[in-house]
Structure 1
Amino acid sequence: MMSILPEKMLRIIQIQTEVVRLGLDLGAVMALVVMRMQTLMKADGAVIELAEGDDMVYRAASGIAEGQLGLRVPVHGSLSGLCVTVGEALLCKDSESDSRVDREACRKVGLRSMIVMPLKDGDIVVGVIKVLSAQPHAFDEADMEVLNLISDLIASSMYNAARFESDEMFRRATYDHLTDVANRALFYDRMRQRLAQAVRQKERFAVLMIDMDGLKSINDTLSHRAGDAAIREFALRLKAAVGDTDTVARLGGDEFGIIFYKVERDMDILGLLERIDERVARPFSFENMTVTLSGSTGYASFPEDAEGLESLIEIADRRMYSQKRAKKTG
């Protein structure tokens, strides 16, 4: 076994400490690990994929892979799928000459070399962690040893968070720990699936971006516990405003997203915006304190506003921030 440099061992211990602090919030654990691994390995990106049926799904991603969050790659025909099948670490020195990889997916991400390490729940491989480089021949055996230590760490966290149940593990990986709505990874996964379906069936749908107003003030003047309670209440009210087939997600901090599954007419979107405003803009009580809630919302509809995932989210984001600015200057 090759020796790992002391500074890298120290960084791995620091990552382990950060993971322990996050506890059972598996989605946050995975997001943290990919960011730290990218830095530790001096890589251009890192990904955690979970094996779900016939697909490998990007459940956490950083760097050059960040824009591919929620991407699904077939188990058969991909290096990640092969890693799950054989249960062993795999090194790709150059994706352009490696017959084991899904070359189209590699080009979409912008990678040329990678290490793929299995994540094991007991004897079962439930996914992979991989580090990526835009350059060929970027990694060696020493890098594989470092990644192996991290894979054991993340697999142990997944094992404990899931309480040994695979269904619970996937839930903790895809739902926000604080609010129990979908997390960022699941939001992007469902966005990709809904977009593909809408293209095939020539249907309309919409994406909404919502920011809570005044969360910093709640944290500063009341407490962070009050702020967490406000976030939970905000999520509950968003869920109450949408239908059973729609997706409400917490994208991070005070930012939320909604996939409005089907739009028959423009009035449907306006009706949803009115329901959100009406339900959210009511004070609620927290430990005998009255907390005021409100939010700023923007939307984009497919195919009228845009036909691509990133464009739809960008337009909805821009409209949301425009409303937020108008509130501050109004």
Structure 2
Amino acid sequence: MKKSEAKDTQLDNATLLEIIKAQSDIAKLGLDLGGVMAYVAERTEQLTRAQGAVVELAEGEDMVYRAASGNVANLLGLRLARETSLSGLCVREGEILRCDDSETDPRVDREACRRAGLRSMIVTPLKHLETTVGVLKVTNSEVDAFKDEDIRTLSLMSELIAAAMFHAARHETSELYLRATHDALTGLPNRALFYDRLRQSVDLALRSSGGLGVLNLDMDGLKPINDRYGHRAGDAAIRETATRIARHSRRVDTAARVGGDEFAVILPGIAGRGDAEAYSRRLVDTVGEPFEFEGHRIDLGVSVGVAILPDDGTEMTALIEYADRSMYETKRERKQIR
């Protein structure tokens, strides 16, 4: 349970080749730091004995889950107190830390570990401009799950994120957080920031008995646009859709790009389902106007699903799942009409 040193640990050739391949894949992601962190979390989980992997950034007094994979993927956006977590200690000390059993390790937030279903973990610091700004963490529900070679793998993968951080934000730490929480193509909040804000919005709405709506939007016909006009046109269609969604949103709303052709909107203070559905119909009309790209008239459209708190759930995941099912039902109905 002490600080871990990984300098002398040798990795097998297969793992080293996978890490080299990861470098190439990360280069293709360019300045999409959120995408890099999500990719590294997923690959790190696969390359170690982990059941889950997380990238946490230190933001104020919290450690925030900005990328997550495996059995902790549903905790994206979670906030933990820096002062009482192993991740916060890693940030303060700037050293790799290993916990073999969360039930006996005094450095960890035991209740948080129980809620997440983990017993052992390794956290390694992420450094930007000589400052430790977060951690890369792997977790397992078993005691003593990790070996020394896992520490070395984690260390190398954290260096890949650090390099991406440097290229994305060379001068300002504030720019780093912007890059980590916003989509590179559209400038909208990304999935991690959307989950973070939705968690907070759900908590606030439940405490204040206020209204809250969640919209899930899926673009119609992106593949035909890519096939007919090329991916540059597809990217332009995504950007135009994002611009129209953002323009339609209120100042209190959060509009995010949460996937390739998928968007979502948080509607705080919404009066009820009727208001949310009216909002979504206006949004469909706003996005549905054609746009011009390099002399081509390209049709746009979105299918929208609606979820309302508390009618459709009082937890973040339940609201997201309901809005997702609602969106697919809307898409099916629109295809039948056509």
TM-score range, shorter chain: over 0.9
State yes or no: 1:290 paired with 2:307. no
Shift of the alpha carbon at 1:267? 4.0
CA distance, structure 2, for counterparts of residue 142 and residue 253 of structure 1: 34
Instruction: Indicate the residue corresponding to 2:94 in structure 1.
Output: 87
Shift of the alpha carbon at 1:102? 1.2
Structure 2 residue identity aligned to 1:172: R
State yes or no: 1:269 paired with 2:281. no
Instruction: Indicate the residue corresponding to 1:170 in structure 2.
Output: 177
Alignment map for 1:225-244 (pairs within 5 Å): 225-244=232-251
Instruction: Indicate the residue corresponding to 2:216 in structure 1.
Output: 209
State yes or no: 1:309 paired with 2:316. yes
Shift of the alpha carbon at 1:187? 0.3
Match of 1:46, SS state, is strand
State yes or no: 1:52 paired with 2:59. yes
The farther-off stretch of 155-164 and 307-316 is: 155-164
CA distance, structure 2, for counterparts of residue 18 and residue 171 of structure 1: 22
Cα deviation, 1:123-175, whole Å, max 9, x if unaligned, reads: 21000001111211011222112211111221121122112211110000000
Shift of the alpha carbon at 1:271? 2.9
Instruction: Indicate the residue corresponding to 2:202 in structure 1.
Output: 195
Cα deviation, 1:2-56, whole Å, max 9, x if unaligned, reads: 2221111111111111111111110000011011111111311100000000000
Instruction: Indicate the residue corresponding to 2:141 in structure 1.
Output: 134
Match of 2:266, SS state, is strand
Change (3 A) 1:271 1:328: closer
CA distance, structure 2, for counterparts of residue 42 and residue 287 of structure 1: 49
CA distance, structure 2, for counterparts of residue 275 and residue 243 of structure 1: 13
Kept in 2, the 8 Å contact 1:242–1:272? The answer is no
Cα deviation, 1:156-209, whole Å, max 9, x if unaligned, reads: 211221122111100000000111101000000000011111111111110000
Cα deviation, 1:269-298, whole Å, max 9, x if unaligned, reads: 133112202201100000000110111101
Instruction: Indicate the residue corresponding to 2:154 in structure 1.
Output: 147
Kept in 1, the 8 Å contact 2:277–2:306? The answer is no
Instruction: Indicate the residue corresponding to 1:125 in structure 2.
Output: 132
CA distance, structure 1, for counterparts of residue 281 and residue 10 of structure 2: 61
CA distance, structure 2, for counterparts of residue 310 and residue 81 of structure 1: 26
Match of 2:236, SS state, is helix
CA distance, structure 1, for counterparts of residue 111 and residue 328 of structure 2: 35
Shift of the alpha carbon at 1:121? 1.2
Shift of the alpha carbon at 1:312? 0.7
Kept in 1, the 8 Å contact 2:49–2:146? The answer is no
CA distance, structure 2, for counterparts of residue 105 and residue 244 of structure 1: 33
Gaps of at least 5 residues in structure 2 are 1-7
Percent identical = 50
Match of 1:76, SS state, is helix
The farther-off stretch of 167-176 and 304-313 is: 304-313
- Which aligned runs of 4 or more in structure 1 are off by greater than 4 angstroms? none
Match of 1:132, SS state, is strand
Structure 2 residue identity aligned to 1:182: P
Cα deviation, 1:232-255, whole Å, max 9, x if unaligned, reads: 101111111110110011111111
CA distance, structure 2, for counterparts of residue 295 and residue 96 of structure 1: 48
Instruction: Indicate the residue corresponding to 1:156 in structure 2.
Output: 163
RMSD in angstroms over aligned alpha carbons? 1.1
Kept in 2, the 8 Å contact 1:55–1:74? The answer is yes
Instruction: Indicate the residue corresponding to 1:319 in structure 2.
Output: 326
Instruction: Indicate the residue corresponding to 2:30 in structure 1.
Output: 23
Structure 2 length-normalised TM: 0.95
Match of 1:57, SS state, is strand
Gaps of at least 5 residues in structure 1 are none
State yes or no: 1:252 paired with 2:249. no
Structure 2 residue identity aligned to 1:294: G
CA distance, structure 2, for counterparts of residue 210 and residue 270 of structure 1: 13
Match of 1:252, SS state, is coil
Shift of the alpha carbon at 1:266? 4.3
Instruction: Indicate the residue corresponding to 2:81 in structure 1.
Output: 74
Structure 2 residue identity aligned to 1:63: G
CA distance, structure 2, for counterparts of residue 184 and residue 171 of structure 1: 13
